[in-house]
Amino acid sequence: MHHSRLCSIQIDCNTSDVDEAATFWAGALGFPVDLDHAGSRGNYRQLATPAAEPMVQIQRVDHDSRAHLDIETDDIAAEVARLEKLGATVHKRLERWTVMQAPTGQRFCVVRVQRPFFSQHANRWD
């Protein structure tokens, strides 16, 4: 048995200025940039979203701009296997997360637990 849930929306920005991108998305979505959050470092800026809502993170990337979802789980291997049974494929395994691709082509990440109250709000998979 393991658990998982939607964790975050990652807004990938092909830009030289991640702060400018974060300022735009903060204004567009109505959530301020949270520079004190551990997720605001280097190429990343975290927006201050309510605890019960998915996180929104702006990240500077070298590929085309796009958005992708992160699914958080207490067992990455089990969640990857579950998603493969649904038709997803592994695109890349990294040290702390796995990049997957949906049957329709969208890429998304499976990550370790990131947010508080995970077990109260996560789906249970037997």
Q: Does the predicted model carry a pTM greater than 0.95?
A: no
pLDDT tens digits, residue range 95-117? Answer: 999 999 999 999 999 999 998 88
Band of pLDDT at residue 52, cut at 50, 70 and 90:
confident
pLDDT given for residue 3 in this prediction: 96
DSSP per-residue letters across the chain = -EEEEEEEEEEEE--S-HHHHHHHHHHHHT--B-TTSTT-STTEEEB---TTSPEEEEEE-SS--EEEEEEEES-HHHHHHHHHHTT-EEEEE-SSEEEEE-TTS-EEEEEE--STTHHHHSEEE-
pLDDT tens digits, residue range 22-38? Answer: 999 999 999 999 999 99
pLDDT given for residue 77 in this prediction: 97
Task: Kindly list the structural domains of the chain, giving each domain's residue range(s) and its CATH number in brackets, ordered by start.
Answer: 2-120 (3.10.180.10)
- Please state, as a whole number, how many other Cβ atoms lie within 10 Å of the Cβ of residue 42: 8
Report the distance separating Cα 109 and Cα 95, nearest Å: 12
pLDDT given for residue 51 in this prediction: 83
pLDDT tens digits, residue range 55-82? Answer: 999 999 999 999 999 999 999 999 999 9
